[in-house]
Amino acid sequence: MLKKGTINKLFAFGFAGLMLVSCKQEENHRGWQYMPDMYDGPALEAYSPTDLFSDSTSARTPVKGTIPRGFMSYPDFGADAAGYDSAKAYLQMPSSIVASEETMAEAKELYTIFCGHCHGDKGMGQGVLVKNEKFLGVPNYADRDINFGTIFHVITYGKGVMGSHASQVTPEERWKIALYVMQLRDELTAPAEEEEAPAEETTESL
């Protein structure tokens, strides 16, 4: 029969032995694992090297032709003047975009965030940047022969000194903004057609 103290010593040695063999110098070695799949998942770690692909990187580009969920496609006429003319002639407002109260409220908000500082709340080209003379040459929408197609094109590719806003607003948001811009333009042109609106008055009311 072993003495109690000897049993305790044996346990202590056994435990210490276990601790030693369960550790390795390698940083990523987790020692003994119960259900290893839970620690070392079969999924590849982002950006870690792998033998699975010839370029040995786990970061893959999307399959050709993949589009993000919810993406709205549009005919791409190109950024140049010919593209602009084609957009003017052929680019139509998608039927899924309807000028509901909700859509127009969203459109106004988007316009205020992305366009108002140059084009002004009413689209007269008198935004805060223009007033502070930080940005010049911003037209009054009423002076431009624009339609939904050209507005979409201009937001996507920019025009002259106006830069592209494609990275800021999705195609769907661009159409909504286009609705709002045309509404502003209608408001700007309507009184001028009915009565001879004096130019100064309109400038004052922005």
- Interacting residues with ligand HEC (CB under 6 A): 114-115, 117-119, 135, 137-139, 144, 146, 150-151, 154-155, 159-162, 165, 177, 181
Per the rule left: phi > 0, alpha: psi between -120 and 50, beta: everything else, 23 is beta
Minimal distance in Å, beta carbon 124 to ligand HEC? 12
User: Based on CB atoms, which residue is closest to ligand HEC, 57 or 189?
Assistant: 189
User: Based on CB atoms, which residue is closest to ligand HEC, 108 or 119?
Assistant: 119
CA 182 to centroid of chain Cα atoms: 24
Q: Nearest residue to ligand HEC, using CB? A: 160
Distance CA 198, CA 203 (A): 9
**Of 122, 106, 94, nearest in space to 177 by CA:** 106
Distance CA 103, CA 98 (A): 7
Minimal distance in Å, beta carbon 118 to ligand HEC? 3
User: Based on CB atoms, which residue is closest to ligand HEC, 58 or 139?
Assistant: 139
Minimal distance in Å, beta carbon 122 to ligand HEC? 13
User: Based on CB atoms, which residue is closest to ligand HEC, 135 or 202?
Assistant: 135
Length of the chain: 206
Buried b / exposed e along 14-43 (16+ C-beta atoms within 10 A): eeeeeeeeeeeeeeeeeeeeeeeeeeeeee
Minimal distance in Å, beta carbon 206 to ligand HEC? 16
